[in-house]
């Protein structure tokens, strides 16, 4: 770059609630990626952005600069349309697992570059690594080859895809600036745009178990990301979905894979199936190959999606027929009275699963494949005193007390179910 700036001047600009120029943004992202801007300086700029925000032009340019810090993957040679999905993270959210092979059934390739869990939210790669032999690390050529032969791949993003985001994300995590829309949106979209997919469907979670706690915050994030995708020429749609209650009946790694297998055999929890089918419909429409919902559901029921899953897992060295890991110890949490379960807090369940060993506190920490929480009832279900409400799973039983403490106040049972409001799973669509 020919033009050079002073990092302190850029910090002052945003501190004083002024706009950063395109050239300032390009320079600071490039210089930080190359180690020419100190982490302390980038932390100060990040806090100024957290406090004072960015407009659409600034966010778009910030995202573009992060994309330009590395390589673009691109799938132009495949000869078929591509579509991807991104979830902002929740509890029990294993939708990617059945969704990728389901969409691939209909001739749309799915390059699903995924991540690992941190804190109470699970990671797709952690879940799939509970399958014996499965390999998350593929080269760009291996990704393209698998998309040609199978039509779907779930794997880790390579180190050269938006490397500026990796450096900035680590900094955000330790400086208290994770939950700000400009930085969340640019982090997510820089990776997705650099990936090179034709279409992108965003699942923006809102509620207790999500990063976005209010619908207004979720709408702002969704609209910002849709705008970023549109500006970059990617057909982008967002759904705002409910994360007050965990998705499905399992929060953990192997137990969520098992749930995905159930869905791919035509069963599984109704909310998982509903969201999987709706996201598949949105992805296929965005990719220009619309399919009726009835036909999408048929692909789950008749074995086509299961066959595609088996191909996908085998292509990455996994054995789709192998037994999944099982935790060494379990403990049931019993209902203290009979009635209707009126609340099951997603954050409480997510933190309990994390404390049992299903998640990690820091990047790089190990996870237990079999640990987690099985939910025997969801809000609106009838429960009986003394019967299991939840089952906790872990290889290290000393973790039980800490997990049980996380669940304190995490559920409620009422005598009259008429007062239990059934909130919709899919709350809004933004395009």
Judged against a pLDDT cut of 80, whether residue 78 lies above it is answered with yes
Residue 1's pLDDT band (cuts 50, 70, 90): very low
> How far is 326 from 150, CA to CA, in rounded Å?
29
DSSP per residue over 330-369, as a string? Answer: EEEEEPSS-EEEEEE-HHHHHHHHIIIIIS-SSTT----S
- Of 267, 285, 315, which one is at a domain's C-terminal end? 315
In a domain, 413, yes or no: yes
pLDDT tier at 115, thresholds 50, 70, 90: confident
What value does the mean pLDDT of the chain take?
94
Is 343 found in the same domain as 289?
no
- 138 and 234 housed in the same domain: yes
Please say if the pLDDT value at position 128 is more than 60.
Answer: yes
Q: Which of 315, 348, 381 is the last residue of a domain?
A: 315
Question: Domain with 15 in it: what CATH number?
Answer: 1.20.970.10
**Pair (285, 339) in one structural domain:** no
Domain membership flag for residue 39: yes
Structural domain boundaries enclosing 197: 77-184+191-315
User: Does residue 30 share a domain with residue 86?
Assistant: no
Residue 125: inside a domain? yes
- Per-residue confidence band for 123, with pLDDT thresholds at 50, 70 and 90: confident
Specify whether 128 is located in the same domain as 232.
Answer: yes
How many domains are contained in the chain? 3
In this predicted structure, what is the pLDDT of residue 118?
Answer: 66
Which active-site residues does the annotation give?
A: 86, 165, 172, 187, 191
The rounded percent of the chain whose pLDDT value lies above 90 is 86
Q: Is the pLDDT of residue 283 over 70?
A: yes
Q: Is residue 135 domain-shared with residue 243, that is, in the same domain?
A: yes
Q: What is the mean pLDDT of residues 178-192?
A: 91
The answer on 336 and 299 residing in a single domain is no
Residues 122 and 269 in one domain: yes
As a whole number, mean pLDDT of residues 76-105 equals 95
Structural contact between residues 137 and 43, judged by C-beta atoms closer than 8 angstroms: no
Reply yes or no on whether the pLDDT at 64 is more than 80: yes
- Which bin fits 235, alpha (ψ -120 to 50), beta or left (φ > 0)? beta
**Shared domain check, 303 and 363:** no
Nearest to 25 by CA among 170, 190, 159, 178: 190
* Cα–Cα dist 16/20, whole Å: 11
Q: Which residues pair with 200 in a beta bridge?
A: 84, 236
Assess whether 19 and 124 both reside in one domain: no
- Interval 219-270: pLDDT, tens: 999 999 999 999 999 999 999 999 999 999 999 999 999 999 999 999 999 9
Confidence check: pLDDT of 397 > 90: yes
Other beta carbons less than 10 A from residue 290's beta carbon: 11
Residues 400, 357 contacting (CB under 8 angstroms) = no
Q: How far is CA 218 from CA 161, 213, 214, 278, 343, in A?
A: 26, 8, 6, 19, 22
Q: Give the dihedral sign, CA 261/263/267/272.
A: positive
Tell me if 330 sits within 8 A of 388, measured CB to CB.
Answer: no
Evaluate if residue 205 carries a pLDDT over 90. yes
Over residues 12-40, mean pLDDT: 96
Q: Are residues 160 and 300 in the same domain?
A: yes
Averaged pLDDT for residues 140-168? 93
For residue 322, being part of any structural domain is answered with no
**Average pLDDT rounded to a whole number, residues 396-415:** 96
Domain end call among 269, 285, 315:
315
Q: Which is nearest to 188 in space by CA: 171, 207, 201? A: 201
Q: pLDDT tens for residues 325-366?
A: 999 999 999 999 999 999 999 999 999 999 999 987 777 778
Question: Count of alpha carbons within 13 Å of 67, Cβ hemisphere only?
Answer: 23
In a domain, 157, yes or no: yes
Are 144 and 49 contained in the same domain? no
Domain-located, residue 302: yes
């Amino acid at each position: 770059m020919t033009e050079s700036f002073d990092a302190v001047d850029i910090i002052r600009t945003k501190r004083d609630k002024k706009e950063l120029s395109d050239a300032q943004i390009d320079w600071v992202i490039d210089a930080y990626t190359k180690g020419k801007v100190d982490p302390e300086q980038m932390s100060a700029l990040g806090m100024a952005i957290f406090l004072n925000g960015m407009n659409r032009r600034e966010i778009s340019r910030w995202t573009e600069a992060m994309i330009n810090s590395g390589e673009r993957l691109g799938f132009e040679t495949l000869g078929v349309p591509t579509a991807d999905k991104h979830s902002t993270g929740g509890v029990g959210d294993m939708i990617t697992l059945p969704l990728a092979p389901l969409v691939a059934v209909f001739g749309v390739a799915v390059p699903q570059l995924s991540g690992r869990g941190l804190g109470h939210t699970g990671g797709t790669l952690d879940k799939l690594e509970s399958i014996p032999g499965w390999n998350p690390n593929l080269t760009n050529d291996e990704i393209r080859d698998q998309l040609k032969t199978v039509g779907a791949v779930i794997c880790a993003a390579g180190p050269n895809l938006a490397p500026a985001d990796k450096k900035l994300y680590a900094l955000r995590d330790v400086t208290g600036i994770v939950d700000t829309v400009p930085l969340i949106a640019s982090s997510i979209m820089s990776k997705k745009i650099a990936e090179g997919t034709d279409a992108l469907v965003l699942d923006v979670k809102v509620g207790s178990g999500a990063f976005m706690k209010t619908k207004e915050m979720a709408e702002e994030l969704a609209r910002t990301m849709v705008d970023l995708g549109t500006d970059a020429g990617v057909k982008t749609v967002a759904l705002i979905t409910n994360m007050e209650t965990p998705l499905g009946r399992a929060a953990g790694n192997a137990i969520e894979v098992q749930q995905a297998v159930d869905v791919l055999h035509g069963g599984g929890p109704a909310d998982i199936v509903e969201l999987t089918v709706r996201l598949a419909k949105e992805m296929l429409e965005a990719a220009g190959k619309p399919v009726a919902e009835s036909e999408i559901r048929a692909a789950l029921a008749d074995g086509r999606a299961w066959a595609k899953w088996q191909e996908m897992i085998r292509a990455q060295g996994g054995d789709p027929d192998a037994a999944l890991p099982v935790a060494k110890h379990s403990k049931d949490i019993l209902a203290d009275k009979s009635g209707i379960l009126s609340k099951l807090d997603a954050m409480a369940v997510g933190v309990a699963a994390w404390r049992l060993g299903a998640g990690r506190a820091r990047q790089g920490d190990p996870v237990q494949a079999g640990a987690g929480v099985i939910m025997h009832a969801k809000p609106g279900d009838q429960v009986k005193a003394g019967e299991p409400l939840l089952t906790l799973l872990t290889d290290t039983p000393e973790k039980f007390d800490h997990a049980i403490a996380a669940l304190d106040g995490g559920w409620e049972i009422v005598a009259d179910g008429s007062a239990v409001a059934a909130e919709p799973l899919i709350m809004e669509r933004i395009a």
